[in-house]
């Protein structure tokens, strides 16, 4: 009875020491997962606010610049000089030099790539920095297929945004904000600011606290990246297509977190959201590889397996030895009984 009781107590203790660590492990795993997802959500919301502020500020800038009386006055004078002399004439250059310092200030202070004045008929009557299409007509001329044309046409009616395209002159991807310019009720034309991708790229490459595999990236409604992947040596903006469960949900208007198959075919923890800008339909995603995020869990899991194996081996050995001892003692008792019976 004593041995049976000791064996029962031992089994109970072994069971306790096996179950408790595994229950603790499950709680630890859940806590690690929650911690990483919360970190991704915090990063996502901060990056979203930064991008949101940047684009809304640029939207506000072009709206204010288009309403500035100096801008409308410049349109009138430059338009008259353009029609009378053309952009190469000294008289036109004299008028242009009146407005050049103000536009240079905007380029320097706001980091624009260029600023354009285009009259309502499509004539490019002013560029802060010389372009190939300066002085041409964007409706009927050789540059009617240029990426700036669609945003110009839309901006004849309201403030508008033109998505990023490659710009050989700037050696960067650039986007455009455009707004109509009026004098009283009369439409004069469109003013356009050109912004470099470098501004956006800087926001998305701040990876403090994101480990070896964490990244933030943008995807446009066409499914193409609007940022560069940290896992590619070549630019991925407007090159890499992304179609994941997270991007699909973001474009449906959902904000959330999930463990998904990422665009690299690797399992990732993903925090996603639409940008919620009226003039941009993009999704923002912040992700980290599941393998990196759960590395501490894997380490604990390995240790638990080793401990469980050792405890199980000890328990099985003890039970086996106890059984052998019990069997041997029982056999000896039977033999003694038989001897006593014969006597």
Half-sphere exposure of 307 (CA within 13 A, CB side): 15
Q: Are 225 and 236 in contact (CB under 8 A)?
A: yes
Residue 21 is predicted with a pLDDT of 56
Q: Which of 180, 171, 217, 176 has its CA nearest to residue 48? A: 217
Domains and CATH numbers, the chain: 35-54+200-293 (3.30.450.20), 68-197 (3.30.450.20)
Q: Are 22 and 304 in contact (CB under 8 A)?
A: yes
d(CA 161, CA 323): 82
Residue 33 is predicted with a pLDDT of 78
Residue 139 is predicted with a pLDDT of 95
pTM: predicted TM-score of the whole model, two decimal places = 0.79
Residue 337 is predicted with a pLDDT of 59
Which residue, chain included where needed, has tokens 């960067």?
A: 172
| Burial class, 66, CB count within 10 angstroms (exposed 0-12 / middle 13-18 / buried 19+) | buried
d(CA 107, CA 213): 36
For 214, the 3-state DSSP assignment is coil
Sign of CA dihedral 220, 224, 226, 230: positive
Q: Are 282 and 275 in contact (CB under 8 A)?
A: yes
The predicted-structure confidence for 106-150, as pLDDT tens digits, reads as follows: 999 999 999 999 999 999 999 999 999 999 999 999 999 999 999
Residue 4 CB coordination number (10 Å):
10
Q: Kindly give the residue spans of alpha helices, DSSP state H, lying in the chain.
A: 2-67, 69-85, 90-110, 148-155, 197-204, 245-251, 290-293, 295-342
Half-sphere exposure of 286 (CA within 13 A, CB side): 28
Q: Give the residue ranges of the chain where pLDDT is below 50.
A: 1, 23
Residue 1 is predicted with a pLDDT of 47
Residue 169 is predicted with a pLDDT of 87
d(CA 178, CA 194): 9
The predicted-structure confidence for 242-293, as pLDDT tens digits, reads as follows: 999 999 999 999 999 999 999 999 999 999 999 988 889 999 999 999 988 8
């Amino acid at each position: 009875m004593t041995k049976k009781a000791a064996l029962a107590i031992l089994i109970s203790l072994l069971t306790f020491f096996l179950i408790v660590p595994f229950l603790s492990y499950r709680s630890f795993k859940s806590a690690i997962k929650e911690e990483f997802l919360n970190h991704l959500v915090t990063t996502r919301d901060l990056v979203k606010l930064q991008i949101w502020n940047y684009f809304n500020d640029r939207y506000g800038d072009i709206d204010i610049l288009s309403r500035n009386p100096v801008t409308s006055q410049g349109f009138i004078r430059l338009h008259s000089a353009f029609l009378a002399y053309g952009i190469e004439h000294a008289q036109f250059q004299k008028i242009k030099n009146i407005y050049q310092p103000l536009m240079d200030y905007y380029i320097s202070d706001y980091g624009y790539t260029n600023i354009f004045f285009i009259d309502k008929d499509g004539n490019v009557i002013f560029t802060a920095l010389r372009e190939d299409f300066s002085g041409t007509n964007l409706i009927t001329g050789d540059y009617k297929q240029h990426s700036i044309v669609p945003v110009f046409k839309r901006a004849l009616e309201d403030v508008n945004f033109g998505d990023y395209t490659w710009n050989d002159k700037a050696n960067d991807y650039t986007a455009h904000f455009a707004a109509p310019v009026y004098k009283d009720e009369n439409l004069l034309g469109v003013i356009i600011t050109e912004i470099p991708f470098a501004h956006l790229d800087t926001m998305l490459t701040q990876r403090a606290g994101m480990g070896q595999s964490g990244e933030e990236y943008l995807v446009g409604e066409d499914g193409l990246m609007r940022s560069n992947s940290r896992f590619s040596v070549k630019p991925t903006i407007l090159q890499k297509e992304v179609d994941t469960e997270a991007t699909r949900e973001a474009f449906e208007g959902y904000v959330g977190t999930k463990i998904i198959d990422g665009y690299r075919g690797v399992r990732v923890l993903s925090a996603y959201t639409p940008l919620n800008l009226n003039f941009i339909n993009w999704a923002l995603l912040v992700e980290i590889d599941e393998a990196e995020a759960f590395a501490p869990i894997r380490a604990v899991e390995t240790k638990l397996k080793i401990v469980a194996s050792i405890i199980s081996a000890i328990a099985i050995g003890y039970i086996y030895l106890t059984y052998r001892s019990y069997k041997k003692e029982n056999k000896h008792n039977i033999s003694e009984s038989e001897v006593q019976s014969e006597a």
